[in-house]
Amino acid sequence: MLTESQKQQLDDEGFVVLEDYIPAPMLKELRERIDELFAREGENAGSEFRHEEGARRLANLVDKGKVFERVISMPEVLDGTGTVIRERFKLSSLNVRSTNPHTADAQPLHCDMGAIPDELGYWVSNTVWMIDDFTVDNGAIRAVPGTHKLGQLPQNVISDIRAPHPDERLITGRAGTVVIMNAHCWHGGTANRTDKPRCAMHSFYCRWDKPQQQWQKQLLRAETQSRLSPELRALLALDDPENDRITSTNTVKSGFLK
């Protein structure tokens, strides 16, 4: 579980960095599986979510390997998610985003899903898994500490959401590091100015009463669903009629995920 100081940092700043969190064998397995999926899916990679100029994506990963089932249920990740959301929550999506070499444009500052806290509080939490090293040159995360407390989207407060923010902090780390983030905190991916891609995975969670970004029940094959534990089925909201109603009747904004 997270330490009290890590939880306090997550509360105060909106993010906490877990250095070298991914065990080496798991990181190796993730890299190999991600490479296999990119090769297998080709131009269709990420089609369950969206395509993006300057980056390659994979989506619906819970359906594409048992290692991803372990990813979404790591204890510290769930503990951090609960620290942010403080209510019952579910997986919203599990995706990969690999920024291409020499990508000139950084992402604008944003809140995931365009989410603003409501009367129940925060309702989105994201984790960034560094599959490659994150450096100042290859697409580090930039985040503006404390902005999750403002209850405002950055585009409604600042004139240029692509420009550097005076209070932003660059989050770098070795491959294997994981960042747990209150997704209401203003953040974005920076440009990759190197000659190699920079790969990250995002396990994204939302509160029980909000629509999933990707409707897990509709995406997961029957054979995948049949092998999942009761705990994973609950985390994916597979047996929750209310989630079916919420997700099927709401337009889910893709937002930006680094």
Band of pLDDT at residue 104, cut at 50, 70 and 90: low
Q: How many domains does the chain have?
A: 1
Q: Supply the pLDDT for residue 76.
A: 97
What does the block give as tokens for 138? 């290859």
CA proximity to 50, closest of 236, 238, 203, 213: 213
pLDDT of 201: 98
- Whether 183 is covered by a domain: the verdict is yes
Confidence at 189, pLDDT banded by 50, 70, 90: very high
In a domain, 257, yes or no: no
Domain membership flag for residue 181:
yes
DSSP of 211-247: --SS-HHHHS-HHHHHH--HHHHHHTTTT-HHHHHHH
Identify how many contiguous H helices and E strands the chain contains and give both numbers: 8, 9
Range of the domain at 68: 4-248
- CATH number for the domain spanning 232: value is 2.60.120.620
Is residue 143 situated within a structural domain? Answer: yes
pLDDT in tens, 127-160: 999 999 999 999 999 999 999 999 999 999 999 9
Written as six digits, the tokens of 29 are 């397995």
Q: Is residue 64 part of a domain?
A: yes
Question: What is the rounded average pLDDT of the residues 212-235?
Answer: 96
Q: Is residue 256 part of a domain?
A: no
Q: Note the pLDDT of residue 90.
A: 98
The answer to whether residue 112 sits within a structural domain is yes
Q: Which helix (H) or strand (E) holds 104?
A: none
Is 146 inside a domain boundary? yes
Q: 15-29, 45-59, 208-222 — which is least confidently predicted?
A: 45-59
